[in-house]
A and B are shown apart, each in its own frame.
Chain A
């Protein structure tokens, strides 16, 4: 049985104001540089965990952060019409999924996920927010009471690893881990 004790958790929020985004992609650049090894040694928006979905001909500028990896595509899609503007399917979706090329390591094809720039020592705000001089991205922290769930991290890791192997094959995953651990 999992314990049901309450505890406070800090929720990290990035408020996205799509009206303020100018499409400069500074967030993508900062993200990829921060996650490079060594830090800031390279940049490459294709490795970024944030992406500006951008189409000037329709005035669409939507920064989205990489969320969960998913093996399966959605059943059916959504097209949003907001204030008369039609947004393509997947515009707001953070998933790294088979239906599009976004949020994958360009070399290995492995999924990318935003980690809110967790770092030791911690950074004041995530790098994408720091780089956004237009206030399209605003960082907020709030406390929330949640039920404590017993951690099962090792099992989770194993499950995640298995699913990666299933998806990409053992060789590709091994090579990628080898490459990352060399860095």
Chain B
């Protein structure tokens, strides 16, 4: 009998039409937990690096975090992983809500999709009963209709449907996979489209077992109440209408223009009314005491829900006010677009038009009003019509196709992936490391445990430290104590801060915990719901296998190293690890490169950012080392970055 997990994964090959329910090895759970960890291993084992991400041989995996569907509050995120067509590296996206838990109740820790259906299909899962069904009648349907029609077809209101919209069907790089109020928004939608898989509908009525029932329940009940009472977890943007932070500090348009004094009290009052006059309620995710989604009803639109910074992206890209986001979001989301990258792609296109690199001829019949232009381009991109067919490649891809200087306008991507539109003054070393090396392609997927800014008042600072129990080691207290200026801490501190931040995300993404109650929320207030001290106990009581902090930390290192090695095998090297060149106005190339070397060294990686044979073997990843040696990516004799001759030269 397996606890916390089901012990089975569903493997579907859409080319062959085969469906297999496969028992998994519990030793793998102990070593990788679940979510991103086991997904990365499957990608490593089954998708050789020469595989074209668009080909049937690529995998699309919906991998439950280990704790999803248990009584652990806030554990519901399913890791959706693939090899991403945008850059050929591992694509990792997270979907909260209800899909993951429902998968587990149906009896599956993960769903592994291979192949490509001959025509559009959807997968219908009801416990053991799994069918590949025709979906031709759903072609071109939006997210809302697709989910509704499938529920009607299966005659079951309890079904959860994860679907793609027209953008996904047409393999648009910015396409998302949506289920209810949640999205796996980054890099994975187009692969679902390539597999001609319109949707996965899942319904489960099985039990999920807990290893130590009384202890697990007591702990989770307490945690639920603690999370509920803790103002530092959840999404402040759901309740606090003071959004001066994003509007004054982030860049508008094509990540171009800062408006430092944009925010005002009058604006806040106007926007507060705008929101609450059109809001039905807040909604939540499976078993979470926070309600981060805002359910909205805008005139002449269907109801929609949004969360977090999705509130800002469209109107900031278009230099408009909040009402523009509210009127365009329901349409963009229904077409199946990611709200982070899509507005940037549109702003990029309009900037190229202004610069004369694209001309009016590229936009036949486009209205002159900027709002209408956004609608016009959404349709063009979703259905790959005209210039939309080019823009469907994302900013980097489109810039390369357009050429003629368009590459200069692709200024806000890392590893070909659109970043948050942040443009600042002075280099921040920890953020340099995180943006450069984060393979989850966004700063929000790595930052979050160590505060963004020091606390100047010594009394308040000590108060903060006293309550800051989540630190994995007292040395973080000391670094925080001596911290005065944002960019000034010893290199070792910057390195270990980045490492701890990354650790928490990897653990969350393996366990299914939402970053809003864990990895992302330590930076504001310090009191997260989850940390390396309570996670082991939670795993022990639900899974029934003893864990402690050191064992858990090793899982982080193993999963992180495995993802890095997978990406190295796909071509990731040091030269690709650069924040956008204009991210900070003041840069110091020499210092940055030395810091990167030190970070690689700390991680046990070579000067080129590849885990050494010794590092891999220490983490029970000997099979990876063997494979990398066989493929001439490693010789096996490499040393870690600082011991490399190139590092010595760098110093001189």
Contacts and interface: CB of A to CB of B under 8 A. Distances in A.
A111 to B, nearest CB: 15
B287 interface: yes
A36 B181 CA distance: 30
Nearest to B156: A101
Nearest to A23: B283
Nearest to A41: B213
Contacts of A131: 221, 224
A44 B70 CA distance: 9
A146 B371 CA distance: 66
Contacts of A57: 144, 148, 302-303
Interface in A26-76: 26, 29-30, 33, 36, 38-47, 53, 55-59, 61
B280 interface: yes
A26 B280 contact: no
A40 B291 CA distance: 25
A51 to B, nearest CB: 9
Contacts of B284: 22-24
B286 A59 contact: no
A127 to B, nearest CB: 9
From DSSP, what is the main secondary structure of chain B's interface residues? loop
Contact of A40 (B180, B214, B285): B214
A169 interface: no
B629 to A, nearest CB: 46
B273 to A, nearest CB: 19
A26 B289 contact: yes
Contacts of A61: 281, 283
Contact of A130 (B206, B216, B221): B221
A19 B221 CA distance: 24
A15 B352 CA distance: 58
B551 interface: no
A115 to B, nearest CB: 18
A106 B281 CA distance: 32
A106 B169 CA distance: 36
Interface in B268-311: 280-289, 291, 295, 297, 302-303, 305
A26 B223 CA distance: 13
A30 B225 CA distance: 14
Interface string B398-415: 000000000000000000
Interface string B185-212: 0000000000000000000111111100
Contact of A44 (B206, B225, B287): B206
A55 B159 CA distance: 11
Contacts, number: 99
B285 A39 contact: no
A22 B303 contact: no
Interface in B141-158: 144, 148, 156-158
Given A24-B285, A39-B214, A59-B280, A44 B224 contact: no
A26 B224 contact: yes
A43 to B, nearest CB: 6
Nearest to B73: A26
A57 B324 CA distance: 21
Contact of A42 (B180, B207, B287, B288): B207
A6 B209 CA distance: 47
Contacts of A47: 207
Given A23-B284, A57-B144, A44 B305 contact: no
B181 A56 contact: yes
Contact of B287 (A29, A46, A59, A134): A29
Interface string A101-120: 10000100000000000000
B295 A59 contact: yes
A56 B217 CA distance: 29
A59 B224 contact: no
Interface string B71-88: 101000000000000000
Contact of B213 (A23, A26, A39, A56): A39
Contacts of A46: 105, 204-206
A59 B71 contact: no
A23 B210 CA distance: 23
Contacts of B217: 33, 39-40
B296 to A, nearest CB: 10
Contacts of A44: 105, 205-208
Nearest to B305: A56
A133 B289 contact: yes
B287 A24 contact: yes
B554 interface: no
B206 to A, nearest CB: 7
Contacts of A59: 280-281, 295, 297, 303
Contacts of A56: 180-181, 283, 295, 303, 305
A25 interface: yes
Nearest to A59: B280
B280 to A, nearest CB: 4
Contacts of A33: 71, 210, 213, 217
A38 B213 contact: yes
Contacts of B69: 43
A96 to B, nearest CB: 15
Contact of A22 (B156, B213, B281, B302): B281
A162 to B, nearest CB: 28
A43 B70 contact: yes
B228 interface: yes
Nearest to B206: A44
Given A41-B210, A57-B144, A25 B287 contact: yes
Contacts of B224: 26, 131, 133
A59 B148 CA distance: 14
Contacts of B281: 19, 22, 59, 61
Contacts of B98: 25
Nearest to A26: B287
Given A44-B105, A131-B221, 9 more contacts: A24-B289, A26-B287, A33-B71, A33-B210, A40-B71, A44-B207, A47-B207, A61-B281, A61-B283
Interface of B: 69-71, 73, 98, 105, 144, 148, 156-158, 180-181, 204-210, 213-214, 216-217, 221, 224-225, 228, 280-289, 291, 295, 297, 302-303, 305
Interface of A: 19, 22-26, 29-30, 33, 36, 38-47, 53, 55-59, 61, 101, 106, 130-131, 133-134
15 contacts: A24-B284, A26-B73, A33-B210, A38-B213, A39-B214, A40-B214, A44-B205, A46-B206, A55-B157, A56-B180, A56-B295, A57-B303, A61-B281, A106-B205, A130-B221
